[in-house]
Amino acid sequence: MTTAESFCHTSQEVCGDGLPDIFDLQETAVLTLAFILGWFLFRLIFQLLPALSRAAKLKGTDGMGRCETRPLTGAEPEVTSTKACEETKGDVLPRLLAPRQGNAAVLDQTSARQIHSSYEECKVLIESSSDPLPGQESHLALARDRARHQDILGSANCIEAVRRAGGRVDQRTLRFFVTACAKGGMMDKAIACFQSALLEGLAPDFQSYSALVRGLCAAGQLDQATYFFYMMLEKGHRPDGLLADALLECCVSQSHLPLVEKVIAVMEDFELRPSNSTLAAHIRLCFARGELHQALQMFKEMPKQFGFTPNAYVHGVLISMCYSFGQCDSALQVHQSMLSCGCRPDSRTYECLIRCCFAVGHLSQAVALVDEALALRGGAVPARRTFIDARAVEDLLATLCRRGEALRLGLPLVKRLQAPAGGWVEHERSFA
Ligand SMILES: *[C@@H]1O[C@H](CO)[C@@H](O)[C@H](O)[C@H]1NC(C)=O
């Protein structure tokens, strides 16, 4: 008996019903079914596995964006490999690629398309943990690029797109955006972006604060500038001289003297190096308090202590202060110091000096100042002339006549004013 014959024989014996073929068919069908079922189950598990591991990772943050270490909020924790790409393509991308106004829209779309050009790249982006929201990095980079080109609206749109997709602005982008806004004088946008960043838990760096405060000072928004300046100090940032001076100048120009005192105190606390602006602010503070003597002392000591030469602005502020206090001699002394520093008075300073002189009867000195300002005695090139207010000269001539100096000082001055060299007089013949 062969093996085949014996097998056939035994099977017939065991089954005994004489239907071996049908039994085989049923068995094959069940096996195939089981295999197919198994295959589907297996695939399902394979697909779910990355999803589970991802969900576990996201549980690490509290899922509400309150976690400091993870930059993204994990707004869609179920976002996973293949399914995620479908979702992302159907959800986030159209939002990111939504048409926007202006130049930025074109750039925006092309850059976003380049990054999401293929399904595979999308998958890679989603699975890399550093950028759970695809396109966030590229959009922030684009926002910075737009800000660098002063396209504030374009930049704001990019940042807005990132926020709508659940992301948030980073340090660098905030700094670029605020700087652009400060340059363009669009401080409302800067404040809005800055506030949102604070709400999102970002701690802006010193440069962002500095750009914001200086922009606000330049725009004359002193209240807001002070608010953010103190917020910056609270966060432990050290101010620099440039920032403190910007705030000082804004306070002084709006005559907010209590604040000038506070800012000066902050500068002293941080031992910031004073500049010309600081000195001028100090002098104006003394002026407001009526302390001419302190102002003169500070003017002498501060440049010596910190090794700098005061500029024309500082001298001018001090001269007009002396004039207001009727201290002609001090004003003239400051004028001398000004000339020795190589600074040239501006028209307002010359007017103060001239009025100062004839108020106390230094008539020939007043005439000399007119000569100096208008370069009437030759020597100086015409470009070095300072055009003073005609009324100051008229008042001087009137005073000369009243004091009986018309012949000695008045007439020669009028002749010099009329001389061809004094082209200035062409349209000021009223003096004659
Ligand atoms: C003040 O102004 C003068 C003249 O422009 C300049 O030489 C000097 O460096 C300035 N000093 C400071 C500390 O700003």
Tokens of 223: 């209240």
Among 240, 245, 249, 275, the mutation site with the greatest number of ligand 1 atoms within 8 A of its Cβ is 275
Phi then psi dihedrals of residue 331, to 5 deg: -60, -45
Cα–Cα–Cα angle for 232, 235, 240, nearest 5°? 45
Contacts of 400 (CB under 8 A, 6+ apart): 363, 367, 406, 409, 410, 413
Q: Is 136 in the pocket of ligand 1 (CB under 6 A)?
A: no
Query: How close are the terminal C-alpha atoms of the chain, in Å?
Result: 151
Task: Classify residue 6: in a domain, yes or no.
Answer: no
Task: Classify residue 144: in a domain, yes or no.
Answer: yes
Contacts of 291 (CB under 8 A, 6+ apart): none
Residue 214 to residue 178: CA distance in whole angstroms: 10
The Cβ-side half-sphere exposure at 407, using a 13 Å CA radius, reads: 1
Residue 161 to residue 369: CA distance in whole angstroms: 63
* Ligand 1 atom nearest 274 alpha carbon: 13
Task: Classify residue 352: in a domain, yes or no.
Answer: no
Comparing CA positions, the residue from 190, 234, 193, 197 lying closest to residue 213 is 190
pLDDT at 7 (0 to 100)? 45
- Looking at ligand 1, which residue's alpha carbon is closest to its atom 3? 311
Expressed in angstroms and rounded, the spacing between residue 190 Cα and the centre of ligand 1 is: 31
Q: Is the pTM of this model over 0.85?
A: no
Counting the structural domains of the chain, the total is 1
Contacts of 429 (CB under 8 A, 6+ apart): 418
pLDDT by 10s per residue, the chain, length 432: 444 444 444 444 444 444 556 667 787 887 888 777 778 777 776 676 666 555 554 444 333 333 333 333 333 333 333 443 344 444 444 344 444 444 444 445 555 554 444 444 444 444 454 555 667 888 999 999 999 999 999 999 999 999 998 898 999 999 999 999 999 999 999 999 999 999 999 999 999 999 999 999 999 999 999 999 999 999 999 999 999 999 999 999 898 989 999 999 999 999 999 999 999 999 999 998 899 999 999 999 999 999 999 999 999 999 999 999 989 899 999 999 999 988 989 999 999 999 998 888 889 999 999 988 888 876 555 557 888 889 999 999 999 999 998 889 999 999 988 876 554 544 444 443
pLDDT at 109 (0 to 100)? 56
Cα–Cα–Cα angle for 280, 284, 290, nearest 5°? 145
Q: Is 277 in the pocket of ligand 1 (CB under 6 A)?
A: no
Comparing CA positions, the residue from 327, 329, 332 lying closest to residue 349 is 332
pLDDT at 420 (0 to 100)? 65
User: Contacts for 320-325 with beta carbons within 8 Å, 24 or more apart?
Assistant: 320/348, 320/349, 320/352, 321/283, 321/284, 321/286, 321/287, 321/292, 321/295, 322/292, 322/352, 322/356, 323/352, 323/353, 323/355, 323/356, 324/287, 325/292
Residue 329 to residue 105: CA distance in whole angstroms: 65
Expressed in angstroms and rounded, the spacing between residue 239 Cα and the centre of ligand 1 is: 20
Q: Is 275 in the pocket of ligand 1 (CB under 6 A)?
A: yes
- Looking at ligand 1, which residue's alpha carbon is closest to its atom 7? 309
Expressed in angstroms and rounded, the spacing between residue 314 Cα and the centre of ligand 1 is: 10
Q: Is 424 in the pocket of ligand 1 (CB under 6 A)?
A: no
Residue 92 to residue 105: CA distance in whole angstroms: 16
Q: Is 305 in the pocket of ligand 1 (CB under 6 A)?
A: no
- Looking at ligand 1, which residue's alpha carbon is closest to its atom 9? 308
Residue 369 to residue 376: CA distance in whole angstroms: 10
Task: Classify residue 20: in a domain, yes or no.
Answer: no
Task: Classify residue 191: in a domain, yes or no.
Answer: yes
* Ligand 1 atom nearest 343 alpha carbon: 4
For 36-63, b/e burial (b = at least 16 CB within 10 A) is eeeeeeeeeeeeeeebeebbeebeebee
Expressed in angstroms and rounded, the spacing between residue 9 Cα and the centre of ligand 1 is: 116
Q: Is 278 in the pocket of ligand 1 (CB under 6 A)?
A: no
Residue 307 to residue 301: CA distance in whole angstroms: 10
Comparing CA positions, the residue from 248, 187, 195 lying closest to residue 212 is 187
User: What residue type is assigned to position 78 of the chain?
Assistant: E
Expressed in angstroms and rounded, the spacing between residue 384 Cα and the centre of ligand 1 is: 21
Q: Is 308 in the pocket of ligand 1 (CB under 6 A)?
A: yes
Give the residue numbers spanning the domain of 171.
Answer: 135-204
Expressed in angstroms and rounded, the spacing between residue 276 Cα and the centre of ligand 1 is: 6
Give yes or no for a contact between 431 and 393, defined as CB atoms under 8 angstroms apart: yes
Task: Classify residue 121: in a domain, yes or no.
Answer: no
Task: Classify residue 147: in a domain, yes or no.
Answer: yes
Task: Classify residue 169: in a domain, yes or no.
Answer: yes
Expressed in angstroms and rounded, the spacing between residue 115 Cα and the centre of ligand 1 is: 50
User: Contacts for 223-227 with beta carbons within 8 Å, 24 or more apart?
Assistant: 224/187, 224/191, 225/250, 226/259
- Looking at ligand 1, which residue's alpha carbon is closest to its atom 2? 311
- Looking at ligand 1, which residue's alpha carbon is closest to its atom 4? 311
